[in-house]
């Protein structure tokens, strides 16, 4: 599949296979393949993953004790030591395993690239929960000025998937916690985002969890909250609703089409930040021109 191949190729090109000892060239003082004390390394300040499972780390540590660390850790020089760019989980497990030195690739990596690579590594293994992923995408925008299109290109995702991930941060904190723990799914979360009142979102999220409601049922439940055709009509015209859903999918944001019985109406496009407004404006202008 295109996404995984693109990500894998990008990371592999940065962390090449180590040639046999006879073919290893001389290593400079700052870059190259080295064996380094894990105590000289610090975690990546840009690490998108916020939690590491203790049982999984212990399992990996047991494997490292038996077979050694088979994949090098990528680090960059920082303040007389090294900051981990990719491989923090392997680094933590190596410490648990009691290794004194571990295979390490040292490269001078810019901070924005360090965040990108940390994100890519976790996406490859699907280690990030939906909120960790959303926060990482948001950080790439706020800290490094990347658009959602640029983030999609760099991570092998589609632009709508990046936009939909970031939209999850609009959920109340307690609902985000349910999503992170797996008590509700991404599909449930997207259905909840149709609602605008936080108390309604919280109440429905608890109902989804308690009743183990399917995503389809959740979508049916929130349908009454969608805009009406007119004050005297029972529901939205199916053609208008289909157009609304197509626009939402295409633009990656919440859309409202309000249409009266006479055919007059308006289209409302919701956005959560200046960056998202700029993205929507550029996309609409490109489509019109």
Does one domain contain both 7 and 114?
A: yes
**Contact criterion met (CB below 8 Å) for 135 and 168:** no
**So what's the pLDDT on residue 125?**
60
Does one domain contain both 43 and 114?
A: yes
Would you say the pTM of this structure is higher than 0.85?
Answer: no
Is the pLDDT higher at 16 or at 44? 44
**So what's the pLDDT on residue 249?**
64
CATH number, domain with residue 55: 3.90.1530.30
Q: Of all residues in the chain, what percent carry a pLDDT higher than 70?
A: 78
- Token pair for residue 201? 């979102």
Most confident of 117-131, 182-196, 248-262, 275-289: 182-196
Domain hosting residue 46, numbered range? 2-120
Is the pLDDT higher at 173 or at 4? 173
3-state secondary structure of 52: coil
Q: Quick check: 154 pLDDT over 80?
A: no
Does one domain contain both 187 and 231?
A: no
- Catalytic (active site) residue 88: yes
**Contact criterion met (CB below 8 Å) for 96 and 8:** no
Q: Which helix (H) or strand (E) element contains residue 35? A: strand 32-36
- Token pair for residue 95? 């410490």
The rounded distance, in Å, linking the Cα atoms of 102 and 275 is 42
Does one domain contain both 191 and 88?
A: no
Residues 6+ apart with CB under 8 A from 115: 46, 48, 136, 139, 140, 143, 144
Residues 6+ apart with CB under 8 A from 246: none
Q: Which of 31, 50, 88, 132 is catalytic?
A: 88
Domain total of the chain = 3
Does one domain contain both 189 and 286?
A: no
Average pLDDT over residues 35-39: 91
**So what's the pLDDT on residue 175?**
92
The rounded distance, in Å, linking the Cα atoms of 121 and 72 is 13
Q: How confident is the model at residue 206 (pLDDT cuts 50, 70, 90)?
A: very high
């Amino acid at each position: 599949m295109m996404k995984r191949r693109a990500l894998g190729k990008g990371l592999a090109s940065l962390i090449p296979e180590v040639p046999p000892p006879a073919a290893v060239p001389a290593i400079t003082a700052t870059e190259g393949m080295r064996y380094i004390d894990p105590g000289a390394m610090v975690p990546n300040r840009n690490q998108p993953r916020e939690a590491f499972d203790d049982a999984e780390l212990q399992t990996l540590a047991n494997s490292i004790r038996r077979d050694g660390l088979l994949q090098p850790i990528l680090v960059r020089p920082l303040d007389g030591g090294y900051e981990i760019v990719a491989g923090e989980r392997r680094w933590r497990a190596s410490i648990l395993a009691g290794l004194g030195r571990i295979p390490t690739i040292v490269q001078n990596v810019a901070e924005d690239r360090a965040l990108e690579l940390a994100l890519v590594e976790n996406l490859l293994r699907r280690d990030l929960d939906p909120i960790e992923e959303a926060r990482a995408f948001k950080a790439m925008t706020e800290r490094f000025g990347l658009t959602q299109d640029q983030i999609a290109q760099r991570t092998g995702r589609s632009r709508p998937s990046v936009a939909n991930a970031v939209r999850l941060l609009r959920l109340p904190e307690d609902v985000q916690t349910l999503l992170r723990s797996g008590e509700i799914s991404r599909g449930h979360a997207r259905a909840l985002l149709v609602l605008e009142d936080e108390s309604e979102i919280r109440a429905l999220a608890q109902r989804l969890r308690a009743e183990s409601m399917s995503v389809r049922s959740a979508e049916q439940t929130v349908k009454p909250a969608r805009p009406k055709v007119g004050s005297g009509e029972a529901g939205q015209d199916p053609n208008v609703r289909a157009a609304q859903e197509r626009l939402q999918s295409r633009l990656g944001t919440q859309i409202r089409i309000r249409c009266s019985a006479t055919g007059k109406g308006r289209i409302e496009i919701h956005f959560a930040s200046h960056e998202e407004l700029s993205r929507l404006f550029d996309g609409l202008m490109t489509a019109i021109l």
